[in-house]
Amino acid sequence: MRRKIIPYNPALIDLAKKLRNTMTIGEIALWQEFKGKKLCVRFSRQIPIDRYIVDFYCKDLKLAIEVDGSIHFEKGQEDKDKKRQTLLASLAVTVIRCSDADVKDNLSFVLENLKIQIENVKPKTPTPKPS
């Protein structure tokens, strides 16, 4: 089965490359875990999707993980995040959000939570019926 290619704005490619080189401490910590495949799925980092760039993306599951820094708590940002979330959902992309502070302060908790949520997103394989 072929994956459907999700649209992206090619003008975002240079910005995505720049963001890969200027990741937050929380993003770096999470990336180290993803590179080690501790969550048993492959992620890419700073990936353009439509007119946005998501922090981490698993193509096989159409799953984005966003690490929210302090800017996400500023006035007006919540509405922007909702619009972003709505657009990504319209492309059948599931978004999991975690705070940068949680990643830095309690990485093991964040990883356990991500594992549970990833299992919920994975397609269910039917169990064979006994004959």
pLDDT in tens, 108-126: 999 999 999 999 988 876 6
CATH code of the domain containing 38:
3.40.960.10
CA distance 17 to 10: 12
**76 within domain boundaries:** yes
Tell me which residue range forms the domain holding 62: 30-119
**34 within domain boundaries:** yes
**21 within domain boundaries:** no
Look up residue 13 and give its two tokens.
């490619």
**70 within domain boundaries:** yes
pTM of the shown model: 0.86
Q: At residue 71, does pLDDT exceed 70?
A: no
CA distance 98 to 101: 9
pLDDT in tens, 83-107: 999 999 999 999 999 999 999 999 9
CA distance 117 to 82: 20
- Per the structure, the count of domains in the chain is 1
